[in-house]
Chains A and B, each alone.
Chain A
Amino acid sequence: MTAPLLCVRNIETWYGPVCAIRGISMEVTAGRIVAVLGANGAGKTTLMNTIAGVVDPFKGSIEFDGHPIARKDADEVARAGLVLVPEGRHVFPFLSVADNLAMGAFARRDRSGLAADRERIYGWFPRLRERQDQHAGLLSGGEQQMLAIGRALMAQPTLLLLDEPSLGLSPLLTREIFNIVTRVNGETGMTILVVEQNAAVALAHAHDGYIMELGRIVAADTCAALMQKDDVREFYLGLGAAPAAGARKQRWKRRKTWR
């Protein structure tokens, strides 16, 4: 077995006195789409920000492509090929779509491939081509998300981190974004780590999955296996045993065991 592309070992991240993630280890194999699921406040975004170098872990190590990247600055990590699409998109609203994409290539040295890459991104996101001269702030939420992903792809990442790409999007748009993510992975073999609240979509598109609760990983497996777990079905996919006809609706919650 080849060494994983990203190897997170026992990281712990604190915000002042608050321990947001309390010991997380995970591995991301090259070429896979890996989903991290969890409820609000589980620590998913903190995990992403820690990997990307936005915040420093208090303990633990992160290896990317065989090199330690924990506690390095975010720009250094990005130059190394690990690019984060932050939660809430953060496009530059007063720059045009084309300029936003160009900003994504800011750190690249090979100027020659830029035009071809931009064309490729327009190919994945035709909507962006249509609006390439518009201010990004005038795009719809879904288009802004596409732009944010496109901008990140312009940096030619080895590993793309997507933090809640579905935030504020309709189920239809969410599916569209994930279809493109799958396509990018299929066509380029790019490794993608995605944090998602929409468990059904994420499990359907990703290869491997991790489930986080209260700053810890409680389940890790392939997505196919995760979808078989009772707790995942009931609490993440809403597929709990349907009440028999005429029976009272069950109001209490079963305790999770993650089997």
Chain B
Amino acid sequence: MALNPHPDAAPVGDSAGSSAGVNPLTLGLDTACQLFRARAHAWRDAPALRRKQRGIWHSATWGDYYEEARAVGLALAAEGLQRGAVVTVLAENRPEWLYADMGAQCMGFIGNGIYPTSSPEQVEHILVNSDTQVLLVEDDEQLDKVLAVRSRCPLLKRIVVFDTEGLRGLKDEQVVDYASFVARGRALAQSGAAAFDASIDAGTPQDVAFLVYTSGTTGAPKGAMIAQRNLMFQLGTVRQYLTVEAGDKTLSFLPLCHIAERMSTVFNQLALGYIVHFPENSGTVANDMREVSPHMVFAPPRFWEKLYSQIELFMRDAILPARSVYRLALAQGMRAADARLAGAPRAQWDTARLRLLRKVAFANVRDMLGLASIKNAITGAAPVPPELLKWYLAIGVDLIEGFGMTETTGFVCATPPGRIKVGFAGRSAPGVDVRLGAQNEILVRGGNIFAGYWKQPEQTAAAIDADGWLHTGDCGELDDDGFLAIRDRIKDIIITSGGKNITPSNIENQLKFSPYVSDAVVIGEARHFLTCLVMIDHENVANYAQEAEVPFTDFASLTRAPEVLRLIHDEIEAVNQQLARVEQVKTFRILAQLLTAEDEELTPTMKLKRRVIAQKYAGLIEDMYR
């Protein structure tokens, strides 16, 4: 699939163009919608989106994308929505998500997304809080959630269903299927296409583009308003972080409600022109990734760890020659990675011999992982274990770290290409200022700082001070080169009964480096020692038990097995070795229930919620201090 169909691809990828005055990434336009329209005209016949359905990839060109978004936009307007009305999508990643989101924004409406794993109560909270007027849902299952709560959402006018399988018998005035909704929009476009253009022209940089409800490890989720100017600022500087070009490929598999995936699937594409692919479903991601072989992957460290342990397990069962070649090449590759991270000159870690070895030994590994063509491998949201980083360097993948949050419209900083520094999340782009405030809190100022929380001025004032600095709530460090390291959430800092300040996430992250620990919560506020609750990684611990011949039946029995307790104990002890005495975890408990994203204990991104855990497992916690 060699694709280079963009007639004007070169200037897009060429940062030298900016010296001419017009930034080729944003074309000097005011809003992402205007940029979308310009790209749709310029790249009309080039593919923009691809989706796999029943095993076959279907493409939509930029022209198709624009027409479909216009149809949705006009159909939404026909519902009587005014500029500033909120349009929400409750679905897994799929092209219709983008058509709805982009169509709505072009008409001056505000986009919004809800995690498909949300409970009906969470759906209700967001629908009510955001004043959603039109909701687009995935299918029968998601529709049922809405139907259960819609009586309490007075502003909700219309529900559009993408996939109507199983809904033939449904007669409901409020519900319409996506196909007829779009057909109505297409009919309107025959005569009313000018209205769509006019709406795009009427957009201003101050317009709110979309809301992102923060996953909320604490408190009820609140909607962060991302303005068009935030988007255009980020698109204008995206070259600082990414090197992918027009015609390159990406796979959209993390939730689109999250700022990182939203930017990478919907908006960065407008600047860089890559082709976004949608997997068949969440179970086929590994296969689809192998098939697409994306040029850019952004995923949390957990994802990269999974890929790594998959290869390690696979090699354990491989034939002897394959195993020895792998071990030999890996040892050399790791040494080279060490040299590189230590700052040795290129000649020491990039020799012809090493390149050959990488090619012979690791080409298949990269193929199997779907990383054969990777240009930008990015991780964030949690620190990366140095060993993992080195493994990827050894097999020839430069895994880089980034730091960003919803309130900064994605990136604050990221590792500059070729300048990996372990433990640091890189440097910010020009125009983004980073400094440390009280308690070493990371403060950020720049064009990427969001427009505030939806209908919550006090919360907004608490987040952004009078001088425009965003208080991230994270504490960290800045080195002389301007590289930023993230330490912890300030409000999570534990003060023990001995008066010691302890940063729990530092300990938790080290615990999470273990393949057997999926997540952990360290406890110790006003106590005289630290303890922790551990969520084990079901697959890896089950594999361990199987290898070590530890009998178990269901998940709960696995968490009770003495050998598993010893395994986790040893993992914690190994971490304790690297910690000061007051920071050492004295005892632990394993959560006996297999939690899913639907459970209130987890955020949609599968992190444990500290507050909920502390409440729900109070008995278990007390037990550790008895």
Contact = CB atoms under 8 A, between A and B. Distances in A.
Interface in A58-91: 59-61
A23 interface: yes
A80 B598 CA distance: 49
A228 interface: no
Contacts of A255: 596, 598
Contacts of A111: none
Contacts of B141: 252
Interface string A222-259: 00000000000000000000000000101110010111
B546 A26 contact: no
B182 interface: no
A220 to B, nearest CB: 4
Contacts of B557: 220
A12 interface: yes
Given A25-B553, A219-B554, A248-B169, A12 B546 contact: yes
Interface residue SS majority, chain B: loop
B553, B593, B594, B598, most chain A CB atoms within 10 A:
B553
Nearest to B165: A251
A9 B547 CA distance: 11
Nearest to A256: B596
B139 interface: yes
A257 B553 contact: no
Nearest to B546: A23
Contacts of A210: 553
B166 A251 contact: yes
Contacts of A23: 542, 545-546
Contacts of A12: 546
A54 interface: no
B462 interface: no
B550 A10 contact: yes
A7 B542 CA distance: 19
A85 B303 CA distance: 46
A22 B551 CA distance: 12
A220 B596 CA distance: 20
Contact of B553 (A26, A59, A60, A252): A26
Contacts of B550: 10
A25 B552 contact: yes
B345 to A, nearest CB: 47
Interface residues of B, number: 23
Interface in A158-213: 210
Interface string B136-158: 00011100100000000000000
A7 B551 CA distance: 10
A210 B554 CA distance: 9
A95 interface: no
A68 to B, nearest CB: 13
B20 interface: no
Interface string B536-571: 000000100110011111110100000000000000
A258 B555 contact: yes
Nearest to A217: B553
Contacts of A27: 551
A10 B545 contact: yes
A248 to B, nearest CB: 6
Interface in B155-171: 165-166, 169-170
Contacts of A252: 139-141, 144, 166
A9 B551 contact: yes
Given A10-B545, A251-B140, A258 B551 contact: no
B554 A217 contact: yes
A218 interface: yes
B165, B169, B552, most chain A CB atoms within 10 A:
B552
Interface in A1-38: 7-10, 12, 22-23, 25-27
Nearest to B171: A248
B23 to A, nearest CB: 46
B21 to A, nearest CB: 54
Contacts of B139: 252
A254 to B, nearest CB: 9
A259 B182 CA distance: 42
26 contacts: A7-B551, A9-B549, A10-B549, A10-B550, A10-B551, A12-B546, A22-B546, A23-B542, A23-B545, A25-B551, A59-B546, A60-B549, A61-B549, A217-B553, A220-B553, A220-B554, A248-B170, A250-B144, A251-B140, A251-B165, A251-B166, A252-B140, A255-B596, A257-B594, A257-B596, A258-B554
Interface of A: 7-10, 12, 22-23, 25-27, 59-61, 210, 216-220, 248, 250-252, 255, 257-259
Interface of B: 139-141, 144, 165-166, 169-170, 542, 545-546, 549-555, 557, 593-594, 596, 598
Given A26-B553, A219-B553, A220-B557, 20 more contacts: A7-B551, A8-B551, A9-B549, A10-B546, A10-B549, A12-B546, A23-B546, A25-B553, A27-B551, A60-B549, A216-B542, A220-B553, A220-B554, A250-B140, A251-B140, A252-B139, A252-B141, A255-B598, A257-B596, A259-B593
Instruction: Enumerate the 4 nearest inter-chain pairs by beta-carbon distance, A residue then B residue, closest first.
Output: A25-B551, A251-B166, A220-B553, A252-B141
